[in-house]
Amino acid sequence: MPLNILIIGDIIGKAGRRALRAGLPELIDRHMVDFVVANGENLAAGFGLTGKCANEIFNLGVDVLTNGNHCWDQKEFLKLIDQDARFVRPANFTSFAPGRGWTVRETAAGHRIAVINLIGQTFMGGWACPFLTADAVLAQIPDDVDVILVDIHAEASSEKMGLAWYLDGRVSCVYGTHTHVPTCDEAILPKGTARQSDVGMTGSYQSVIGMKVDIALKRMVQKLPQRFEPVERGGEIRATLLRVDAATGKAVAIERLMMSAEELEGRR
């Protein structure tokens, strides 16, 4: 029996949290999900995460929250990250960053899942090389780990695809987050690593990557300062279901999932 792993990308504010509250328990049930990983960098009104928001998501069945460029937007997270091993932040942040770049958690059946978080370099700032950082992290991961997941939080599809090829056969899945738009390039590479360049956001798609349209357009057209605000209603779930052979750590299937706003509205 393969392990069923649900991958959720960036969860955007209230709309994303409400969508998960309405739909995640059913998705876990329907697909007999053993493990859930999600990206938490936009949980708190689009910017960073607080203990309160993170607990809400953990209580719905998410096992690990990864992060990205919005990691430190809420100051309390600088302290919080060291208090809970379910939080990871990009491993290629500087050595001054608190927290950890990878974690190992156990499923109810006792399978050990490693989650590694990396941030891209292209259009993302001057981070250390995610490729070489992945090599260094993999050298530290214990041998008894059954599955290795990699969240590459990056802007460029090319960089994310490149990383998947670089790690093919060494990890179970390389998936992207950050753009908030899902890609339909999911595939299993020749040596058994599943790949999807971006899982997309869980939040409102009646938006500009989760943010209110009028504000986003003012910024784009007038080029004047304007604070982004997330759309709070109409959240949708976009996620990816990964099946991994626990004996080999290789992916056997990868499939995109979706729960529309209409579908979720009926469950609220």
Q: By C-beta, is 24 or 154 nearer to Fe ion?
A: 154
Residue type (1 letter), 113: I
Of 69 and 197, which CB lies nearer to Fe ion in the complex structure? 69
CB atoms under 10 Å from CB of 190, counted, come to: 9
Candidate segments 15-23, 39-47, 54-62, 127-135, binder of Fe ion by CB under 5 A: 39-47
Q: Which stretch binds Fe ion (CB under 5 A): 24-32, 177-185, 231-239, 243-251?
A: 177-185
The residue range among 6-14, 26-34, 98-106, 183-191 that interacts with Fe ion, by the rule CB under 5 A, is: 6-14
What is the Cα–Cα distance from 230 to 56, expressed in whole angstroms? Answer: 18
Burial of 100 from C-beta contacts in 10 A (0-12 / 13-18 / 19+): middle
E-strand ranges in 111-172 read 112-119, 147-153
178 is an active site residue: no
Of 42 and 92, which CB lies nearer to Fe ion in the complex structure? 42
Instruction: For residue 261, give the nearest of 10, 19, 57 by alpha carbon.
Output: 19
CB atoms within 10 A of CB 142: 8
Residue 178 binds to Fe ion (criterion: CB under 5 A): yes
Out of 31, 70, 111, 178, the active site residue is: 70
Q: Which of 4, 69, 121, 207 is the binder for Fe ion (CB under 5 A)? A: 69
Interactions with Fe ion, residue window 85-144 (CB under 5 A): none
- 42 is a site residue for Fe ion (CB under 5 A): yes
**Angle 257-259-265 (CA atoms, 0-180°, nearest 5)?**
170
Return the closest-CA partner of residue 10 out of 187, 167, 185, 204: 204
Q: How far is CA 48 from CA 75, 97, 262, in A?
A: 9, 15, 27
Binding region for Fe ion (CB under 5 A) out of 9-17, 132-140, 168-176, 257-265 = 9-17
* Residue 240 binds to Fe ion (criterion: CB under 5 A): no
Smallest gap from Cβ 15 to Fe ion, in A, equals 13
Q: Per CB under 5 A, does 10 bind Fe ion?
A: yes
Give catalytic residue positions: 70
Residues found near Fe ion in the complex (CB under 5 A): 10, 42, 68-69, 178
